[in-house]
Amino acid sequence: MIQHPLHPIHARLLVITSLALIIAGCSPSGPSEQAIRDYAETARPQNPELSGIYQRSCMACHSRGTSDAPLTGDGEAWNSRLEKGMHRLVDNVVAGMGGMPPYGLCMDCDTAEFQALIEFMARPAET
């Protein structure tokens, strides 16, 4: 059987397509689930006061993935919540929602602190 060589244009297209597929397959599509879990277990707000609140009130559910609470740093899980608006998210914290108790276990937190904590938890993981 006689094989015909590829036309130079077809050969170039084949190389370009192959490279594009290789690059697409290797491109990061965001942090892996394990990377998000690792980040959630160790992440803390830089502000010492917020860090204290986070550790005593938020961390138990948002850092371990043992509840339906979105993990800290899981930007994808937080996106649908953020689309509702910050005011609505703060209202949900105050009223309690799903398994989260009212005030997210921080009875002395104010709206600004709730907002800062939500912004911290919703920020995509730094991996």
pLDDT tens across 74-95, in order? 999 999 999 999 999 999 999 9
Quote the pTM value: 0.76
Sorted by where each starts, the structural domains of the chain and their CATH numbers stand as: 33-122 (1.10.760.10)
Section 108-116 average pLDDT: 97
65 burial via Cβ count (<10 Å: 0-12, 13-18, 19+): middle
pLDDT for 48 beyond 80 = yes
In the prediction, which pLDDT does 29 show?
Answer: 66
From CA 72, how far away is CA 39, in angstroms rounded?
Answer: 8
